[in-house]
Structure 1
Amino acid sequence: MAEPHAAPVAVGPRVGDETIAFSLADPNRRLVGVELRHELDLPGQDTRFGYDETAGAWTLTLPRPPIRRMEYQLTLYHPDGASETVTDPTNPVLTPGAFGDKSVLGMPDYAAPAWLAGEQAWPIGAELNVSTGVGPVEITVLSPDEPTSRLLVAHDGPEYDRLAALGRFAATMVRHGRVPPFHLALATPGARDERYSANPAYATAMVGSVLPELRRTLGTDGPVVLMGASLGGLAALHIQRRHPTQVAGLFLQSGSFFVPQYDEVEKDFRYYNRIIRYVAAVLRGQGSGRAVPTTLTCGTAEENVHNNRLMAATLRRQGYPATLHEVPDAHNYVAWRDSFDPYLVDLLAKVWADSGTRWGDGGRVRDA
């Protein structure tokens, strides 16, 4: 005899014109609750599933957010009080992330970038372990066959390469003549939260030790572009403003430019107050230094979009040729990957248009 509610039920996520619907079969009601976990900014939206007795399933329907893909997990609540956060067992589409796999719900209008089918990443040209005042900084450099003095340094570099195919992107864009040849330096974060949270000691380490060692090893003296996402974007901006002659361009993705107005939810983060003080100094114009081409990207549906809008407007007022591009996604590596073309391409082409540009060794501004 069939179990109660064992008849086939509709399960799994479904995308409508105006809504998205989730359903998880539980005909014997072994769970006491299910909740959707995501990184979208959906104020006022309840993400707890309700139980549909007729379908024998937990269900949730939400207004369709302004995105083309959605990464999410489910938290399952058990009768004994235990809970677990898992990928959606009804959805086979997964994506890796810095904190584990997530389920992916693609909208009908989403397409992955064509360059993912392009060139293989360049081989490793150098591996450095640079001693600094904040501990060793490990760098893996991917280098093209052509000689070049240009350098792109990526915070969270190994993660960018593994989760966003940054090495493949670089090789493909150079191969097709979209940008001139350059070295790609993938910086391992180490103590990420401490280093990337507007830490003056880290900025000094990068400019005083890491960049000089990269230049010596690679024989380069050309323009350096810094890039980073989330805290890595904050760290890139912080380095440029403290040492403005060392950085020729910035690519900042979903930067953690916390301000109390928008980011009180982050107040338990250990370095929240340091970031708040630093960002306030930037907003006041302290240490504006030398303005450089700056591109910001941010998801339309992530919490950081509000502070990124504020930062982009602030930088423009201070003379930076800064642009913010909002993309229909959230705070994740695929969103950042999908923004490389055209936004990183355009920035690199602009900064490196004059391959003979040289950058000095001096310069430091006040603490901002």
Structure 2
Amino acid sequence: MLLRLPDPERRFATVELDSPGLRGECEWRAGAWRRRIGRPRTQRIEYHFRVVDRRGRVRHLLDPTATCTVRTSFGPRSVWEAGRYRAPDWLDQPGVSGSMTPLELPSELAVPLPVMVWVPRGLRSHQPAPLLWCHDGPEYAERADLLRWAASHVRARTLPPFRLVLAQPVRRLQWYAASPGYLRSVDLALEALRERYRVRAPLAFMGASLGGLTSLLVGMRRDDVGAVLAQSGSFFDPRLDDQESDFGGFGRITRAVDGVRSGRWRRAGAGPQVALTCGRHEENYANNKAMAKALRRRRVPVRLTDVADLHNYTAWRDALDPIWPNLLRETWTATG
């Protein structure tokens, strides 16, 4: 596959391809900077070009020939898609219906926990209903179409009407790094939600990367959590993730991960049902496999799904079905 950035006047001194796993210098030839890569191992590639002009100024440019772009946590990127790639069918469903309520929930931290609570049309506050808590919820809603996903399943009756809590971390790298204060704050926040809404147990938690780690930690310490989805969970291990050792929360995370694997993080019963999804070529794949193996050894019901993509919201969006609605339906219908 050939990626190219036109530059007929050679205004740029150097150009590099900037993409997870595909970084490297481009070659100028025939009026364009070119980077040929072998057959991609994934169905999608998100990328842009890092260019340095003749004055030494650095910019990041999209590919003008790309037919698709995506917003990421690191700015917009161009997208290449394989011919076999297919987006989820539920993206074609009608728009989102229901109400959104902003709340500030009590916490043990320096600030309250800000959340948005989505409620599907027709579900009243006094009606008992399941509750799904999503870490990094606003980003999931914006970049993974989570509200459309939820609305489409409620509309199709493949899931019962449920309330969706979109949790937004104020200090993400601190709160989602196995913070005991944050985990205790989730307990306080859930008490406040139960005072406002009639919540039908068991609860469900979901998140990606550090949010996936945090969702699993909540699920392993609370008896009322029935289902957890951790996507590309950051289950750091000193042997597998030395490249992350400079991260300030690395030690705390590795201790928490070891506690989950060894069983020191205990709750009544075997634990929640756990779904893990992870790109088979991303850095977190090895630690996700290790976590799945350890949970099975502890007799925690767990399923790991490989994804033909990397560490991004589109990959997490595409991996929601069928594993997550199936697990939620099994968890919620088992309690009536």
One-letter code aligned to 1:161: A
TM-aligned CA deviation for residue 276 of structure 1: 2.0
Q: Deviations over 1:262-308 (max 9, x none)?
A: 32222222212221222233233322434110001111221111111
TM-aligned CA deviation for residue 196 of structure 1: 0.5
Trace 1:7-18 onto structure 2 (pairs within 5 A).
Answer: none
Equivalence for 1:50: 27
In 2, Cα distance between the equivalents of 1:85 and 1:276?
A: 34
One-letter code aligned to 2:205: L
> The residue matched to 1:194 in structure 2 has which SS?
helix
**Residues 155 and 232, structure 1, Cα contact 8 Å, conserved in 2:** yes
Equivalence for 1:80: 55
In 2, Cα distance between the equivalents of 1:37 and 1:311?
A: 30
Q: Deviations over 1:30-76 (max 9, x none)?
A: 22221111224x6xxx6221222xx1221111122221111112111
> Structure 1 regions of 5+ residues with no counterpart?
1-19, 357-368
**Residues 97 and 163, structure 1, Cα contact 8 Å, conserved in 2:** yes
TM-aligned CA deviation for residue 192 of structure 1: 0.7
In 2, Cα distance between the equivalents of 1:23 and 1:162?
A: 29
Does the alignment pair 1:226 with 2:205?
Answer: yes
One-letter code aligned to 1:61: R
TM-score w.r.t. length of structure 1: 0.85
Does the alignment pair 1:34 with 2:15?
Answer: yes
**Residues 196 and 202, structure 1, Cα contact 8 Å, conserved in 2:** yes
* Alignment partner of 1:246 out of 224, 237, 248: 224
> The residue matched to 2:12 in structure 1 has which SS?
coil
In 2, Cα distance between the equivalents of 1:122 and 1:213?
A: 25
Q: Alpha carbons of 1:87 and 1:263: their partners in 2 closer, same or farther (altered >3 Å)?
A: farther
The farther-off stretch of 196-205 and 306-315 is 306-315
Q: Alpha carbons of 1:184 and 1:86: their partners in 2 closer, same or farther (altered >3 Å)?
A: same
**Residues 288 and 318, structure 1, Cα contact 8 Å, conserved in 2:** no
Equivalence for 2:190: 211
TM-aligned CA deviation for residue 149 of structure 1: 2.1
In 2, Cα distance between the equivalents of 1:287 and 1:326?
A: 26
In 2, Cα distance between the equivalents of 1:38 and 1:148?
A: 46
> The residue matched to 1:109 in structure 2 has which SS?
coil
TM-aligned CA deviation for residue 99 of structure 1: 2.9
> The residue matched to 1:32 in structure 2 has which SS?
strand
> Structure 2 regions of 5+ residues with no counterpart?
none
TM-score w.r.t. length of structure 2: 0.93
Does the alignment pair 1:111 with 2:86?
Answer: yes
Higher share of residues assigned strand: 2
In 1, Cα distance between the equivalents of 2:319 and 2:325?
A: 9
In 1, Cα distance between the equivalents of 2:40 and 2:334?
A: 42
Q: Deviations over 1:59-95 (max 9, x none)?
A: 1111222211111121112233332223223324211
One-letter code aligned to 2:203: V
Does the alignment pair 1:98 with 2:73?
Answer: yes
* Alignment partner of 1:199 out of 156, 173, 179: 179
TM-aligned CA deviation for residue 328 of structure 1: 0.8
* Alignment partner of 1:143 out of 110, 116, 119: 119
In 1, Cα distance between the equivalents of 2:98 and 2:114?
A: 17
In 2, Cα distance between the equivalents of 1:49 and 1:244?
A: 51
Equivalence for 1:187: 167
Corresponding pairs, count? 329
The farther-off stretch of 281-290 and 180-189 is 281-290
Does the alignment pair 1:162 with 2:129?
Answer: no
In 2, Cα distance between the equivalents of 1:39 and 1:309?
A: 20
In 1, Cα distance between the equivalents of 2:335 and 2:313?
A: 30
TM-aligned CA deviation for residue 211 of structure 1: 0.7
- Of all paired residues, the percent bearing the same amino acid is 38
* Alignment partner of 1:309 out of 289, 314, 321: 289
RMSD over aligned Cα, in angstroms?
A: 1.7
In 1, Cα distance between the equivalents of 2:54 and 2:264?
A: 55
Trace 1:297-336 onto structure 2 (pairs within 5 A).
Answer: 297-336=277-316
